[in-house]
Chain A
Amino acid sequence: MAVLVGALIFAIVTNLQKDNTVYRAGDQAPDFQLQQISDNNELETVRLSDLEGKGVMLNFWATWCKPCEAEMPYMQELYPEYKEKGVEIVAVSLDSTELVVDQFIDRYDLTFPIPHDRNGEIRDLYKVGPIPSTFFISPDGEIKDIVNGALTLDLLEGYLNEITPE
């Protein structure tokens, strides 16, 4: 009997563990720290846990990704307003060449922090598949929504409102 119960519990527990390897809405966002490379932003490094108390839009993007490029102006448009309200936009660049990112930042006049995931470590940590991929993280560090694919201005505003601190 004990063998049977043990076997069952084992199977169930291992299956639950399986779910934990890919982060879902409701999970705590795993912490990371990356060098920030945008000259338009004063931060030198971005550490997720330092942003506790703020809503965080964690966006994964690259210069060569067309849909990423399409949503950048929307993010920039809403950034000043929501920064006031306590929401930080963190756009993790998956490019390998810093120069290309710099040129992109200049083209779109981006002012939010752009951490550079040079060796793909954070991409692996968050198990990001095709980009753009965006995690909306509440002020207490919980993943509220995960959006795979480009956002429209309306959608983006809706998600940002959800993670705005009270």
Chain B
Amino acid sequence: MNKIKCECGHVNPEGTVLCEACGKPIEGNQHIDGNDKKMLLNMRYEGTARRSQTYRKSFIDKVWSFFSSVKVGVWLIVVALVASMIGTLFPQSQFIPANATSRDPAIYYEDQFGLIGKIYYQLGFHEMYDSWWYLVLLGLIGVSLVICSLDRFIPLYKALRIQKPKRHETFLNRQRFYSETEKVSQEEIEQVKAKLKKQRYKITEENGHILAEKGRFSRWGPYVNHIGLIIILLAAILRTTPIMFTDEYVWVREGETIVIPGTKGEYYIENEQFLLEMHDPDDDRFRDAIASGGMVASNYQTDVVIYKAKQDIPGAEPELEPILDDSIQMNKPAKFDGYTLYQSGYQQNEFRSMTFKIHETNDEEATAIDSFTIDLFNPESEYILDSGFRVVLDQYYPDYYLTDEGVPASETNYPRNPAFVVVVYPPDASEPEVSFLGIGRNIDATGENDYKVAIQDFDTHYVSGLTLRVDRTLIFFGIGAAIFMIGVIQGMYWQHRRVWIHPKADGVLLAGHTNKNWFGLSKDIEKAIEQTNIKMVEDRQELDK
């Protein structure tokens, strides 16, 4: 390391442009900030040695310099923004609508959006926000933010801490605000000091050299802001992990107790009942709307019990301990242990049980001899009736349909269209009779049955659709955004203003610097030197042409 010793005695690190203590331009380094071509000094980062500008040889140096560039950072952000935009053009794979012809992404995108959709799918844009390259992009923005900040903040902080009131003359006369006064009395200087103090400047002195400074903390605004951004980025990256963010959907039937997916089998939910309530059509407020637009739901509600399961091993009969008894309504989710359950959908008219009666085939009144009820979720294989009849449930198709080969089958697990093959053993021990029963179907297998089985009654129930969500990242987004805002305010509404007074012979050199709002600084100086001989500073701004 080639340390540079300034004539003021301070030892500066390699690559320093302006001495950290006295501000004297260091020979041979002036090209770094472009000071060699200008009259005024470039005061950005106080002319400190930035690693990115100093070391550029090794691989690490090059990586560091690359990421320390604000230009690179901005481009990374632009690329991430464009990618995020592209991701919203078509639905992401988890949002392919349930009623799509095919929910297979390989088919859906091409089918729905043609060639562009196919390209979209092949490039993996249908799972963009979870893709490795999107996360890497966010990571790179984070790296860029951290390196940008460290590269600037550390030397800046050091330089501002060790700056001395006594500055080199060249430093002063190459400031934008500058004046020289031939003859100034000590009283006048004291007066200026007092007035600066009154304007809440902090005064430090060294052998008659004066530094008046205020609002230094405004210089940290951008770095505070970056800390906020990094927290937001981390939250965004963490959101892709199931620990921090989970989104699951579960259908629960009335009376059913099932495991809640996405909770690792830890929680169970029981649907006690589902309520669908309508606005009253006799109510004056709603009458007209309902007459023209049909019934309007006023409430969707699921009364649930949440259980915590104690279980040695997944699948074993769990010990359920109720932890919450709640009614979930729209916008009124149930919350437990960091999980939130929202009311998100319902299905109606699913069958729960069916009651059949047995009567003599040639009885026109169809008077029931006896009846039996089949619980569609837990059917018995045999029903023995008081009248001596025995009914064997030979086949049960919860969601009956006829396959292309003409074979009866069930399309799903759920009793949406139940059908049965029953064998009826009459009490007189005559031949058993086979019937096929379904909604709107009653087929006598042989056409010679003495007894007929017919639907007498049925029960339906609701199925409630609930969304389970865990979002532990929201708080981090909130904190990040708050810190971001504090940084912005800090940097925007305060300015770092400095005034230097440098005694020379009988007079003084006066210089001022601020990071923004030069007009405000000039007003401050004007007030401070009122009624003294000291000349007002001259604004020597060089405009880049």
Q: Which A residues are closer than 8 A to B by beta carbons?
A: 1, 3-4, 7-8, 10-11, 14-15, 17-18, 21, 30-34, 47, 62-64, 66, 94-100, 102-103, 115, 117, 119-122, 124-125
Q: Nearest residue in B to A124 (C-beta to C-beta)? A: B261
The interface residues of chain A lying within 8 Å CB-to-CB of B139 are 8, 11
Q: Nearest residue in B to A116 (C-beta to C-beta)? A: B315
B314 lies within 8 A of A33 (CB): yes
Q: Does B409 contact A (CB under 8 A)?
A: yes
The interface residues of chain B lying within 8 Å CB-to-CB of A115 are 315
A63 lies within 8 A of B265 (CB): no
Query: CB within 8 A of B315: which of A1, A33, A97?
Result: A33
> Which A-B residue pairs are the 8 nearest by beta carbons?
A32-B315, A34-B315, A32-B314, A4-B146, A64-B410, A119-B258, A121-B259, A33-B316
A18 lies within 8 A of B314 (CB): no
5 more contacts with CB within 8 A, not counting A7-B142, A64-B413, A119-B259, are: A14-B237, A15-B132, A33-B313, A97-B378, A124-B262
A95 lies within 8 A of B413 (CB): yes
Tell me whether A17 and B398 are in contact in the complex, defined as CB-CB below 8 angstroms, given that A96-B377, A122-B314 are known contacts: no
The interface residues of chain B lying within 8 Å CB-to-CB of A97 are 376-379, 396, 398, 413
Query: Which of B30-38, B164-172, B240-248 is the interface stretch?
Result: B240-248
B241 lies within 8 A of A11 (CB): no
Number of interface residues of B (CB under 8 A): 51
Tell me whether A11 and B142 are in contact in the complex, defined as CB-CB below 8 angstroms, given that A17-B241, A102-B381, A120-B259 are known contacts: yes
The interface residues of chain B lying within 8 Å CB-to-CB of A7 are 142-143, 146, 230, 234
A103 lies within 8 A of B396 (CB): yes
- For this complex, 18 residue pairs linking A to B, each with C-beta atoms less than 8 Å apart, are A4-B146, A4-B147, A8-B139, A10-B237, A11-B138, A11-B139, A15-B135, A30-B314, A64-B410, A94-B413, A97-B377, A97-B396, A98-B378, A99-B380, A99-B393, A119-B257, A119-B268, A121-B265
C-alpha spacing A34/B396, complex, angstroms: 24
C-alpha spacing A115/B313, complex, angstroms: 15
C-alpha spacing A146/B240, complex, angstroms: 24
Q: Nearest residue in B to A22 (C-beta to C-beta)? A: B242
CB of A38 to closest CB in B, whole Å:
15
